[in-house]
Amino acid sequence: MNERLHDAPNWLYLIREFDLLYRQGSAGGSKAIRAHRRRVRHATSAIIETNPALIVRDVQHQPVVAYLDRALDLGARDSLHSLSQSLERVRDELTWELGYSKISKSLSKRYAYTEVLGPNGPIESDHLILGFVLFAPNTTYPQHSHKDIEESYISIAGAWSENDNAVHAPGSLVLNRPGDEHRITTGDLDPCLLAYAWVGPAERLANPGMKFTAPLRKKKSEQA
Ligand SMILES: [Fe+2]
């Protein structure tokens, strides 16, 4: 018989950290962010209550995991240290993935994500995905959007920017509504570790169809 969430303290505390993260802190006066935070924590609390069976996944690494030690060291000294430590407790059980069907060789060495809750487990959920994404220093994560999926990133370690709009430090939350185009760049010196949440219809979360937005081709008349 499969182990259940409440029999696996490291996974349970990790999900409780997410629950706290979306329960506490400010929405910065944004109704949209407040509503998103509420959706995430309601779903998280319901999952904790139902005590789902854990899905056993194959442990999988990607080259960027070489930066995880540094990211966790940085995370341990900043505002989200509890979440960072909870991630460290399950680090030997994580499945790091690339997701995209088409990904450049250079990006496949500089980025990966790991889901901790979602349709594929390890904690099973239909309407919510929680995970972490790790970037090497000086990385550009190309432009993309998520159909029907509302996404938030919360910064644990490192400095990063989305669409060249601001520099985000540990504790920052960035919301991407369904269809919002976004592109991420990370700072020169340190890796960047973000927690993320995806909320959306079950069929979309089970099959998000990850692909980068094709760069717009210039019309002939616009070319130099
Ligand atoms: Fe995204």
Q: Is residue 1 over pLDDT 60?
A: no
The predicted pLDDT at position 210 comes to: 78
Distance 141 CA to ligand 1 centre (A): 9
Is 80 exceeded by the pLDDT of residue 54? yes
**What's the pLDDT score for residue 212?**
82
Residue ranges of domains in the chain: 5-210
pLDDT digit string (tens) for 140-160?
999 988 999 999 999 999 999
Q: How far is the CA of 198 from the centre of ligand 1 (A)?
A: 9
Answer yes or no: is pLDDT of 60 > 60. yes
CA of residue 72 to ligand 1 center, whole Å: 21
Q: pLDDT confidence of 17, banded at 50, 70, 90?
A: very high
Give the per-residue pLDDT at 73.
97
Q: State the Cα–Cα distance between residues 28 and 206, nearest whole angstrom.
A: 31
Report percent pLDDT > 90 for the chain. Answer: 83
- Cα(88) to ligand 1 centroid in Å equals 23
**Measured in angstroms, how far is the CA atom of residue 204 from the centroid of ligand 1?**
14
CA proximity to 195, closest of 65, 43, 55, 87: 87
Region 44-72 average pLDDT: 95
Decide if pLDDT at 166 tops 90.
yes
Q: Residue type for 80, please? A: L
Distance (Å) from CA 33 to ligand 1 centroid: 16
User: Which pLDDT score is estimated for 216?
Assistant: 54
Residue 145 C-alpha to ligand 1 middle, in angstroms? Answer: 6
pLDDT over 50 at 224, yes or no: no
189 alpha carbon – ligand 1 mean position (Å): 22
CA 32 to mean position of chain CA atoms? 19
3-state secondary structure of 86: helix
From 36, 14, 187, select the one nearest 115 (Cα to Cα): 14
CA of 98 to the centre of ligand 1 (A): 13
212 closest CA partner among 190, 183, 191: 183
In this structure, the number of other CB atoms found within 10 A of the CB of residue 59 comes to: 11
**Block residue for tokens 């629950």:** 19
Q: Which CATH number fits domain 5-210: 2.60.120.10, 3.40.50.2300, 3.30.1540.10, 3.40.1160.10?
A: 2.60.120.10
In degrees, to the nearest 5, what angle opens at C-alpha 109 toward C-alphas 67 and 192? 40
According to the model, what pLDDT value does residue 25 have? Answer: 82
Q: Which two tokens stand for residue 51?
A: 């005590």
The CA distance from 148 to 165, in Å, is: 23
**What mean pLDDT do residues 115-123 have?**
94
Tell me the HSE value of 46 on the side-chain side, using a 13 A CA sphere. 11
What does the mean pLDDT of the chain come to? Answer: 92
Whether residue 122 has a cis bond before it, omega within 30° of 0:
yes
